[in-house]
Structure formats: C-alpha cells, structure tokens
A and B are shown apart, each in its own frame.
Chain A
Amino acid sequence: MTAAIETHKLTKWYSHRSRGILDVDLVVETGQIFGFLGPNGAGKSTMIRLLLDLIRPTSGSAQVLGLDVHRDRLAIDRRVSYVPGELSLYSELTGRQLLTYLGNLQGGVDAVYRDKLIERLELDPDKRIKSLSRGNKQKVGLVAAFMIRPELLILDEPTAGLDPFIQLEFEHLCEEARTEGRTVFISSHQLPEVEHLCDRVGIIREGRLLAVESIAALKERALRRLEIDFGEPVGVEAFANLPGVRDLTVTDSVLRCTVMGSLDALVKAAARYEVRNLRSIDTSLEEIFMAYYGADDGAAEEVSHAAA
C-alpha cells in the first residue's frame, strides 16, 4: 500500500534561521492519525510547507500519496487539504463566500456535507472573516479542509483557539476520517492534546526527526518511578548497572529509581533482600516525550510549559 507521506533525507537548510530540517526520513501510513510533535521552531511548519511545495527542499525528496510533491502538485492538491498554523483567509469575505470560492477551486464539493460540517463545528458562515475570533476563523479553515473529503489532511496546530466542545467535535471528525481509511497528519507542540487521538507520533527537534513510535509502543516503553522500602540498609552497588534502571538513589533502606521497560531485573535484584513495600508510579507520555529531549534541555522545558 502506498504511504500517505514518505520523505527521503528531506532537508531544508536556512543559513540564518533555525527552522530548517535535516535528513528527515518519515513514513506515514494511510488510514492513520499521525501526530507530528515538537516545540515551536523545531521545523514542523517547514516540513509541512515542503510537503505542500510552498517551499522547495535543499536536498532530499518527498512523496504524498505516492506522488512527487513538486511534479504532481495539482493531482496532490485535489486529494489533500491543509490548514496552516498561521491561518489567514480573505478577511473581506464571509465564511460562506470563502467556502464557496475554495469549493469552486476544488472543482465542486458536496454542499450537503459542507453544511453539515458548518453545523457540527457551530460556525456562523454569514459573518465576515475579519470579524471572527481566532477560534471561529479556525473553524472556517477546518470546514474548508474537511469538506473536500481529502485522502490526506495536513493540519498545522489545528486546535489552537478552539473551545473544548468544538475540539471534541474536531477529534470526532478526525476519527471518522480514519474510519473511512483516510489519513490525518497533525502537528502540535502539545502531546497531551493529541496523544489520545493519534495512532503514531513522530518527534522532531531542532530540525531532526528523533523518533517515530506508535502510541502503544510509547506506552509500553513507559517510564515507571519506583520506590522500594527494604527491611535493612542496602548498598547501591547491588542495583547499579541494571538494564533499564536510571536515576538510582539509595538512602539507607529506601531505593528510588526510574525504570524503562521491564521491571524484571530490578525485581530479581531486590528479591535478595527483605522487601517491605514497593510503590510504582506510572509516568505520563509527556515524560516519555521529554526523555527524548533530555531533561536539561531548553526544548524540553518549552514542551512542558506548553503542555502545562
């Protein structure tokens, strides 16, 4: 099956700006909701604008729906829709006029479906776009994107400014698209916002794709914070260098550490002593996410602030 998005060593290099991307190899399978995560300035929008042929790569290549993003531009445009992060629309038009225009450029859309989207997202289509709040403007962009029933939706920070109810409706729309076998590509700097929605996430930082994981695999690799009370003081040596164990501290008879993956080695090491109590605290995906960034990194802080 053709991937929805496939890039090979995709690179956009800016001499004086930080927003480039470097050697990105990304495959997004069809029928998924894919989260593209990273702090502001990591290169998310650069990546998206390369996929849309708005900017051209320094090197590397990109295919969307198996088509070359530059050579097959119009064929892609007919099957893909896009909501930019900094959404700007013709402010002198009403929402309805804009949707009519974009629908005509598309070569016609299902008006019944479009009106249903307007209703579901509670958009007032007869107000001029210039008088709309950010969230309402975003609704116009979302209706425009969903109304053509695209095979791939590329959404750059789509939920900014949406109220919670509308955000829920937006998530239903994404899930419906997935059910119909369509693909949704969502960029975000907030993992909690998309973790329950996405099947897989890619993590980008400073222009490099750090990891692509299924949410399930991320959860499997969940970090657990463990605290073990022993019946006697224990030495730290007995637990050092165990696989998956980090941040190890031993104070008298209390051991504290974080474990990634299996607890087996730690539990077996602990079994040599009298174990009075064992507490395990599951960490959030947010923390796993931050583990990729490195805790002492400014980027990680940015992510955690954004998520807070």
Chain B
Amino acid sequence: MLLHNVFTKTIRDLRWPTFWVALGMGAMTGYFAVLFPTYSKIVDLNSILEKMGPAAKLMGDIGDVSTLVGFLHIELFSMILPALIVTYAAGMASGFTAGEESRGTIDVLLSYPVSRSRLILEKSLAVVLGSVLAAVVVWILGIGGAAASASVLPPDRLAEALFMLVLLGLAFGAVALAISAATGNRAAAIGAAVGLMVVMYLVDALASIVDGLGAVRPLSLFHYYMGNDPLRNGISLTDAGVLAAVAVVFLILSVVIFERRDLAA
C-alpha cells in the first residue's frame, strides 16, 4: 500500500501525475521517432526553417532538422518536454509542504516522529524518482520508435539529453518548493516557477538573435540545459553541475526556511 514512510506515501500520491506525464512525454517522443522518416519525406524541413529566418531561432539553436536527432531537438527537447517536466516537478514539489498546510494535514503528520526537514527531503526524493521514471519511459519509447522506423537515435545521447531534462525539471521544482515552503501558498509557487521558466526560455531563445541579451543569458537555466545541445553532443559537466547546484541550493533553502516558519493552522 506504500504507506511505510513519507517517501513511499509521496510516491503513492504522485503515482497518477507521474504516470500521465511519463505517458505524455513518452508517447510524443515515440510518435515522432516512428513517423519521422515519413514526415521528412513529405516536407523539406530545412527549407521551411530557412524561410522562417531569425524567427526560427526562437526554437533554440538550430541544427540539421533532416535528422531525427535534430528534429527531436527542435520539436520536443527545446520547449515541449521542458514545459512538461517543469510543470510536473514544480506542480508536485509546491504541494509537498503547502499542500499539507492548506489541507490541514500537517498538524497530525508532524505530531508523529517526522522532522520538518525529513518531510521535505523524503518528498523531494519521491519527485526525483518520479522524474527519472518519466525519463526512462521517454527513453524506452524514443529508442523503440527510432528502431521501428530505422532512424538514427543514439541511445546514450538520448539518455544524456533526458538527464539534462530531469535536472532542469528538478531545478525549477526546487524553486517552487522553496517558494511554497516560505509562503505556504501552492498556487503562488507553481505560478512563479512556471512563469520563471517562460521568462528564462525567452531570454535564452531571444539571446541567440538579440545581441544585447548576451550578458543576461547565463541567468537563464535554459542556457545550461540547451547550451551544449546534449542530444547531439552529450552532457557538459559544467552545465549539468549548474542545474544540479540550483536544485540542491533551493532544496536546502526550502529546508532552512520551512524549519523556521510558523505553520498555518
């Protein structure tokens, strides 16, 4: 029944959202991988992008979209998958303390031998596991789809891109967690995290066409997520380190803030 401790209980709470986000991201990836050869035969994707000119750059640094790798990069990894994983991680994390507070269940929970820090850490571990599970589903369906259509999709590169995707999700999830731990307001935390994601996405995308934005580009987490184009080039340890550091720092911040706060009645 998964009711052994806060970690397993959280896995139980997250099972359906995790199932749906994994299925959604996996199905899209598998779908594109299966249909890519057909699709690229009908449409000359590179020529469309050329016609779009600078606007195409808003979809991220453009490579060769006549390959499945380039196509997935643009179609999924630059925007849709980040939006889904961030919404998932931030949505779940924002409920960890604020959800228990607004439902009023935190009084009973904390009257058992569970410290506030353990509460946050065990719940966070569950969303890490959920994100990794979702990434594994995407990997299986992506590799399966590519095999079915005999397209080239290097398994290690896909794994590396998904690793970066998970880190991006967890970084924004930790931001949402910190906001919700500080305010007890779940909606504000989700809104702020998703809003921040949109702004950071735009900053990174616009920076490739607007010179003046170059200076602020390092402030965008998308810069680290996409900078090395992991689907084509693999992981940059620096980039991964930055995302992981953001996640860890905001997790620690959440614990520190939540330990000190008066909890809502």
Contacts and interface: CB of A to CB of B under 8 A. Distances in A.
Interface in A72-131: 73-74, 77-78, 80-84, 86-90, 93, 97, 100-102, 104-107
A141 B106 CA distance: 13
B114 A55 contact: no
A100 B3 contact: yes
Interface of B: 1, 3-6, 9, 103-115, 260, 262-263, 265
Which one of A53, A88, A93, A100 has the greatest number of beta carbons of chain B within 10 Å?
A88
Contacts of B263: 49, 54-55
Given A104-B4, A104-B5, A54 B103 contact: no
Interface in A30-56: 45, 49, 52-56
Contacts, number: 71
Contacts of A77: 110-114
B25 to A, nearest CB: 25
19 contacts: A52-B110, A54-B110, A54-B265, A56-B260, A56-B262, A77-B112, A77-B114, A81-B111, A82-B107, A84-B104, A84-B108, A88-B103, A88-B104, A89-B108, A101-B9, A102-B108, A102-B112, A105-B6, A106-B112
A55 B105 contact: no
B32 to A, nearest CB: 36
A14 to B, nearest CB: 10
A101 B114 CA distance: 12
A144 interface: yes
Main secondary structure of the interface of B (DSSP, over half): loop
A107 B113 CA distance: 8
B108 A86 contact: no
Contacts of B113: 74, 77-78, 105-107
Contacts of A105: 5-6, 109, 112-114
A126 to B, nearest CB: 13
B24 to A, nearest CB: 23
B4 A55 contact: no
Given A52-B107, A97-B3, A105-B6, A86 B265 contact: yes
Contacts of B111: 52, 77, 80-82
Nearest to B1: A97
A87 B3 contact: no
B3 A104 contact: yes
